[in-house]
Amino acid sequence: MMDSYQETVFKLKKYWSDRGCIIQEPYDMEVGAGTMCPETFLRVLGPNPYRVAYIQPSRRPADGRYGDNPNRLYKHQQLQVILKPSPDDVVDQYLGSLQAIGIDLSKHDIKFEEDNWESPTLGAWGIGWQVMLDGLEITQFTYFQQCGGVDLDLVPAELTYGMERLVAFLQNRESVYDIQWAPGFTYRDVRYADELQNSVYNFEMADVPTLWSLLDLHEKEAQRLLDLFPDTPDKKRFPLLAAYDHVLKCSNLFNLLDARGAISVTERVGVIARVRKLAVGVAQSWLAQEAA
């Protein structure tokens, strides 16, 4: 009996819940990857252990294909797991999660191929692998080393499962749109309109000057807050999380402008540096807030 998409999600959540993870809900803003959610970006900082797992719909405007391409999506679903600090048997635990969703490892080929993750906009990087299952990349496995330009006290393991690929594999589907999401509903039923309409918007209709001014506005607001933080006496109640939301807005607007072809290669470096400056600012202030 084949599991539906949601059944597989349930199983993975249960598996990680059984291993001490908080099961969070997706962050309620547009992000490019599960890593950008505060549950990862901020929680990996500092000396406090943390374990969390959540599904995060992740937007990559440039990857949109109007719902035509069987494997490429504007918005894909990641299952993000953070184990901080990483347990010694983290690889075994990870392999156990594959067994838990019905992959009989004795019948498959698993390889760990070098793939070091880096996000210039977040000032974050880590060392790790892409995990290949019968030649298919199903998970990005990263030992975080730095986030927001800060060396991490405890090294977290980040497991990012590409859910569509994984489930297409489990259900033996050629196209992600043919995945059964729930009994009686395919992935296409649930998501096609989202892919089509947002591809149209991202590639054809997004108003470039508007996007630029939105970027400027969010940047200004984030920076305004960051500038106020050092002189704020009561650090604990300072809205750094709100400042970070504006950073996330900037990041998504950058991706939209990029997809729209509005950013030249030279400008690109500059805009990345702007967003990075904000992200690093939030990370450092957040550490100060935690310590306060």
Partner 1 sequence: MAARRRLPFLLEIGSEEIPAWMIPPALEQLRGLFEELLSVHRLGGRVTSVDATPRRLVLTAEKIAARQADTEELVTGPPAAAGEAAAAGFARKLGVEVSQLEKIPTPKGEYLGIRKKIPGRAALDILSAELPSLVLNINWPKTMYWTGKGGPRFIRPIRWIVALLGPDVVPFEIAGVASGNLTRGHRQLGKPALRVSIRNYAQKLRANGVIVSAAERRRKIESEIPVRVKPDPELLDTLVYLTEFPTPITGSFDEQFLALPAEVLVTVMRHHQKYFSVEREDGSLSPQFVAVMNTSADPEGLVRQGNERVLRARFNDARFFWDVDQRLKLADRLELLAHVTFQAQLGSYKDKTERVVRLVRELGGSEHAVRAAMLAKCDLTCEMVKEFTELQGVVGGLYARAQGEPEEVALAIYDHYKPVSMEDSIPRTREGQIVSLADKIDTLRGCFSLGLIPSGSRDPFALRRAAQGVVKILVEGGHSTPLSWLAGGDAALREFFLDRVSYYFREIRGFRYDEVNAVLKAGCEDLVDVERRLTAIHEVRPTENFEPLAASFKRIANILRQAGFTGGGPVDAALLEPGPEAALYEHFQRVRAEVASSSDPLGALKAIAALRPSVDLFFDKVLVNAPDEALRRNRLALLSSLLTEFSAIADFSEIATG
Residues lying near partner 1 in the complex (CB under 8 A) are found at: 69-72, 85-86, 88, 91-92, 95, 105-114, 116, 126-127, 129, 133-136, 143, 145, 151-155, 169, 172, 174, 261, 264-266
In the bound complex, what is the minimum distance in angstroms from residue 165's beta carbon to partner 1?
9
**Which pair of structure tokens corresponds to residue 47?**
């000396």
In the bound complex, what is the minimum distance in angstroms from residue 146's beta carbon to partner 1?
10
**Which pair of structure tokens corresponds to residue 171?**
């259900």
In the bound complex, what is the minimum distance in angstroms from residue 106's beta carbon to partner 1?
6
Residues in Cβ contact with 226 at an 8 Å cutoff, skipping those fewer than 6 apart: 243, 278, 281, 282, 285
Q: Are strands 118-119 and 50-59 parallel, antiparallel or unpaired?
A: unpaired
Q: Crossing angle for the helix pair 5-18 and 163-171, nearest 10 degrees?
A: 120
- Residue 86 or 202 with smaller CB distance to partner 1: 86
- Residue 29 or 136 with smaller CB distance to partner 1: 136
Instruction: Name the 3-class secondary structure at 42.
Output: coil
H or E element in which residue 259 lies: helix 240-259
In the bound complex, what is the minimum distance in angstroms from residue 25's beta carbon to partner 1?
30
- Residue 67 or 222 with smaller CB distance to partner 1: 67
Q: Is 112 exposed, middle or buried (0-12, 13-18, 19+ CB in 10 A)?
A: middle
In the bound complex, what is the minimum distance in angstroms from residue 257's beta carbon to partner 1?
13
- Residue 143 or 286 with smaller CB distance to partner 1: 143
In the bound complex, what is the minimum distance in angstroms from residue 45's beta carbon to partner 1?
11
- Residue 90 or 217 with smaller CB distance to partner 1: 90
- Residue 127 or 272 with smaller CB distance to partner 1: 127
Rounded distance between C-alpha atoms, residue 45 and residue 124, angstroms: 11
- Residue 23 or 200 with smaller CB distance to partner 1: 200
Phi (first) and psi of residue 182, to 5 degrees: -140, 160
Short-list 245, 231, 244, 246, CA closest to 286:
244
In the bound complex, what is the minimum distance in angstroms from residue 150's beta carbon to partner 1?
10
Cα-based distances in Å from 59 to 72, 78, 169, 217, 218: 12, 10, 22, 21, 18
Short-list 87, 28, 18, CA closest to 53:
18
**Which pair of structure tokens corresponds to residue 129?**
């692998």
C-beta neighbour count of 182 within 10 angstroms: 12
